[in-house]
């Protein structure tokens, strides 16, 4: 890794146009790794115990929640509909549906299924609206507001506490020392990556994002693909909602404050092209890990919460601009 | 002055909603028609109207600024923190910072072609962090000897307060500037068709910089006024400005495709939203109903515009020979 990086500036100047554009593509693929490599090296050199297994596992654990939600949103981004701004509200909804049904005596599996179904339906509605040509950002912002109000109204703004908590093992437990949340995160990344790169629907999703008119012309049901992407994002948010209920044994209205922002930042920092049509699902999960690592390092260094947010925004903006400039130059 | 907007179907629907809402609420909620309530409605229409006007500027040029809430928080904190030295200095510094920041965002968007929605989400995150950094332990507070400013802002003269008047005057100035200046007209041209605007020699750099600087400055003014009214500004404050600002612009009928939209739309949207909010406050309805109503009406308006847009397209396609070209005039 270090060798090829050192070669890069030297080979940049020479070679023909083809080689140059291949070089740029390679640079673009590498771009998202630069911050994490720099960060990892810096942290390992300056902070004691950063590179140890327990700390690295702790980082994956802390990034699992944002990461799971982010790989869902990545489906929306890849199909060309930017991001959803209703992730927080979707996760809260699923947390409440699960907790309320379980408290009312529904079996655990059924309560989970119901939470997933409700979320899928909500995702489908938003996906339907967006697939008809409504602006995704404004639509999800409006939908999230209405959804949140409805949930808080129905729950009478109470906190639902699960006692006993049947899924504490799922949200807070570990397997062979690895947190279950982190395992679920990694499994979902693997499944998602497989679906995106190896199945027909995955390739149709990418094509829809790359060029919707062309995709329509070659017979891809682009409207249905957009709806599927929104359902996927909603399901990922629902899983997050259930996992966190398992972790903290309760559902309350402000439990996911800031999640949407973290998810958007993760998708951007992971280097998924925001115009859609390219990018792999794992990049969103990777973005979540980078951001958590950054937070972890700054926390260890005693940097306050505000500065961490500032850096998160600047990093996301910098990667976004970098990707956009590289993309336009390579055309 | 151009009154052609009165003939627009989108606009007529919104006027009808506003009037029906007003009649319905006056008839059903006791105390709705009263001088104090009118005062509060006008004041808040002005305040969220400022935010909405800023967002409208970016919508007119075909972009969207999602960072206003964080800009408002940073500006309000700067103004109140410097108020210990001089409140005038604080306000000037806050507005200059907002203006420079906004110009920079507009410049980057023009030069790199980066998507403004996403870039401003990054700014929303980063500036929120900056606001938190500036208020690590407690909110910025207006010095005690300056509390007369808060009192003066909300003292009622009939249904008007100084705060409401300041907001409405600023909105009026922006509205005039958009109609009467070259820069304002260029904004509509760029939003309508970037390539054609470039071809006719308009500098998109200046237009984007002006739109985003305008949006940041108007958001900052709204934040500062709200902070002066309450006497404090916290790092987490003004979060609702984002949804409120976009809602009043869209509900008022500013299209997301760009090229159209005036301050009249924004004021109408703000009035509709504040009528609902005031009914929620007076009617003893749970507060969460307000977010349902605001989100619901925003969705309804998006759908309405979508439906009207399709009908207009169908009509234009049907009678292209007869009246097609006239449609391109706003």
pLDDT digits (tens, 9 = 90+) for B71-107: 999 999 999 999 888 899 999 999 999 999 999 999 9
Rounded to 5 degrees, φ, ψ at B137 are -105, -40
B306 interaction partners in chain A (CB closer than 8 Å): 132-134
Q: Which of residues 159-218 of B touch A (CB under 8 A)?
A: none
Tens digit of each residue's pLDDT (9 = 90 or more) over B299-328: 988 888 888 777 777 777 765 444 433 333
Q: Confirm whether B145 is domain-assigned.
A: yes
Segments in chain B forming alpha helices (H) = 9-28, 35-60, 68-82, 87-112, 116-134, 147-154, 162-180, 182-192, 194-199, 204-230, 241-252, 263-282, 288-318, 320-323
Predicted pLDDT of residue A4: 39
Reported residue count of chain A is 331
Separation in Å, CA of B127 to nearest CA in chain A: 6
User: Would you place residue A20 in the very low, low, confident or very high pLDDT band (cuts 50, 70, 90)?
Assistant: low
Predicted pLDDT of residue B145: 84
Predicted pLDDT of residue A46: 78
Is residue A309 within 8 angstroms of chain B, CB to CB? yes
Cβ distance A306 to B134 less than 8 Å, yes or no, reads yes
* Mean per-residue pLDDT, A169-187: 85
Q: Confirm whether B53 is domain-assigned.
A: yes
Angle at B207 between CA B206 and CA B209, to 5 degrees: 65
Q: Confirm whether B91 is domain-assigned.
A: yes
Q: Confirm whether B31 is domain-assigned.
A: no
Task: Indicate if the pLDDT at residue A279 is higher than 80.
Answer: no
Question: Worst-scoring range by mean pLDDT, A191-200, A278-287, B237-246?
Answer: A278-287
Predicted pLDDT of residue A238: 96
Alpha carbon B123 to its chain centroid, in Å, reads 18
Cβ distance A141 to B246 less than 8 Å, yes or no, reads yes
Helix H or strand E encompassing A55: helix A53-78
Assigned token pair, A271: 């280097």
A31-329 maps to CATH 1.10.287: no
Question: Worst-scoring range by mean pLDDT, A174-178, A199-203, B195-199?
Answer: A174-178
Q: Tokens 């799922």 sit at which residue? A: A170
Q: Confirm whether B327 is domain-assigned.
A: no
Nearest to B256 among A135, A148, A325 (CB): A135
Task: Indicate if the pLDDT at residue B298 is higher than 80.
Answer: yes
Assigned token pair, B12: 């007529």
Is residue B307 within 8 angstroms of chain A, CB to CB? no
Cβ distance B286 to A153 less than 8 Å, yes or no, reads yes
Tens digit of each residue's pLDDT (9 = 90 or more) over A296-305: 888 888 888 8
Instruction: Please provide the distance, in angstroms rounded to a whole number, between the alpha carbons at the two ends of chain A.
Output: 27
- Alpha-carbon distance B119 to B101, whole Å? 13
- Alpha-carbon distance B128 to A316, whole Å? 14
Cβ distance B123 to A313 less than 8 Å, yes or no, reads yes
What does the mean pLDDT of chain A come to? 84
Predicted pLDDT of residue A15: 41
* Mean per-residue pLDDT, A227-233: 96
User: Would you place residue A1 in the very low, low, confident or very high pLDDT band (cuts 50, 70, 90)?
Assistant: very low
Q: Confirm whether B217 is domain-assigned.
A: yes
- Domain with B232 in it: what CATH number? 1.10.3470
- Alpha-carbon distance A114 to A111, whole Å? 5
User: Would you place residue A164 in the very low, low, confident or very high pLDDT band (cuts 50, 70, 90)?
Assistant: confident
Is residue B64 within 8 angstroms of chain A, CB to CB? yes
Domain count of the fold of chain B: 1
Q: Confirm whether B262 is domain-assigned.
A: yes
Predicted complex ipTM? 0.81
Tens digit of each residue's pLDDT (9 = 90 or more) over A180-201: 898 999 999 999 989 988 899 8
Q: Which residue of A has its CA nearest to B243?
A: A141
Q: Confirm whether B198 is domain-assigned.
A: yes
Domain of B96 in residue numbering reads as 40-308
């Amino acid at each position: 890794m270090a060798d090829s990086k050192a070669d890069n500036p030297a080979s940049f100047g020479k070679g023909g146009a083809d080689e140059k554009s291949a070089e740029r593509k390679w640079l673009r693929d590498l771009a998202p790794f630069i911050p994490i490599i720099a960060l990892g090296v810096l942290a390992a050199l300056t902070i004691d115990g950063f590179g140890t297994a327990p700390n690295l596992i702790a980082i994956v654990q802390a990034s699992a929640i944002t990461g799971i939600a982010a790989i869902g949103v990545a489906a929306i981004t890849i199909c060309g509909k930017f991001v959803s701004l209703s992730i927080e509200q979707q996760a809260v909804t699923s947390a409440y549906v699960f907790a309320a049904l379980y408290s009312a005596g529904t079996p655990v599996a059924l309560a989970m299924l119901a939470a997933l179904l409700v979320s899928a339906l909500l995702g489908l509605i938003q996906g339907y609206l967006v697939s008809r040509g409504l602006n995704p950002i404004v639509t999800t912002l409006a939908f999230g507001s209405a959804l949140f109000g409805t949930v808080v109204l129905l729950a009478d703004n109470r906190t639902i506490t699960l006692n006993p908590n049947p899924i504490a093992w799922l949200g807070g437990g570990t397997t062979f020392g690895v947190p279950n949340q982190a395992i679920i995160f990694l499994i979902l990344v693997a499944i998602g990556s497989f679906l995106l790169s190896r199945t027909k629907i995955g390739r149709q999703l990418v094509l829809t994002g790359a060029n919707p008119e062309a995709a329509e012309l070659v017979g891809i049901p682009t409207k249905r693909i957009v709806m599927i992407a929104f359902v996927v994002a909603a399901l990922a948010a629902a899983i997050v909602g259930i996992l966190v209920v398992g972790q903290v044994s309760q559902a309350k209205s402000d439990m996911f404050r800031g999640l949407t922002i973290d998810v958007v930042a993760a998708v951007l920092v992971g280097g998924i092209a925001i115009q859609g049509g390219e990018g792999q699902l794992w990049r969103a999960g990777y973005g979540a890990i980078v951001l958590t690592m950054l937070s972890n390092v700054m926390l260890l260094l005693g940097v306050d919460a505000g500065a961490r947010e500032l850096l998160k925004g600047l990093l996301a903006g910098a990667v976004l601009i970098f990707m956009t400039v590289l993309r336009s130059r390579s055309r | 002055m151009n009154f052609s907007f009165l003939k627009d179907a989108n606009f007529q629907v919104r006027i009808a909603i506003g009037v029906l809402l007003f009649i319905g609420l006056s008839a059903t909620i006791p105390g709705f028609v009263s001088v104090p309530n009118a005062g509060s409605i006008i004041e808040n229409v002005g305040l969220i109207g400022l935010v909405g006007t800023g967002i409208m500027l970016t919508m007119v040029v075909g972009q969207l600024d999602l960072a206003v809430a964080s800009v408002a928080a940073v500006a309000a904190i700067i103004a109140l923190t410097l108020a210990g030295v001089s409140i005038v200095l604080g306000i000037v510094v806050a507005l200059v910072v907002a203006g420079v920041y906004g110009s920079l965002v507009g410049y980057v968007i023009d030069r790199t072609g980066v998507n403004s929605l996403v870039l401003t989400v990054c700014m929303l995150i980063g500036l929120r962090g900056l606001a938190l950094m500036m208020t690590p332990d407690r909110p910025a507070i207006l010095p005690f000897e300056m509390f007369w400013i808060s009192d003066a802002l909300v003292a009622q003269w009939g249904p008007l307060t100084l705060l409401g008047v300041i907001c409405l005057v600023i909105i009026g100035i922006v509205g005039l500037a958009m109609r009467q200046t070259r820069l304002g007209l260029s904004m509509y041209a760029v939003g309508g068709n970037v390539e054609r605007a470039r071809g006719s020699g308009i500098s998109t750099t200046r237009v984007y910089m002006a739109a985003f600087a305008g949006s940041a400055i108007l958001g900052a003014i709204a934040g500062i006024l709200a902070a002066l009214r309450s006497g404090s500004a916290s790092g987490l404050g003004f979060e609702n400005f984002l949804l409120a600002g976009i809602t009043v612009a869209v509900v008022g009928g500013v299209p997301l495709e760009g090229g159209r939209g005036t301050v009249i739309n924004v004021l109408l949207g703000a009035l509709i939203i504040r009528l609902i909010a005031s009914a929620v406050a007076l009617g003893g309805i749970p507060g969460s109903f307000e977010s349902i109503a605001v989100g619901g009406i925003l969705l309804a308006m998006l759908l309405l515009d979508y439906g009207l847009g399709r009908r207009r397209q169908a009509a234009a396609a049907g009678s292209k020979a007869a009246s097609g070209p006239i449609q391109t005039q706003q």
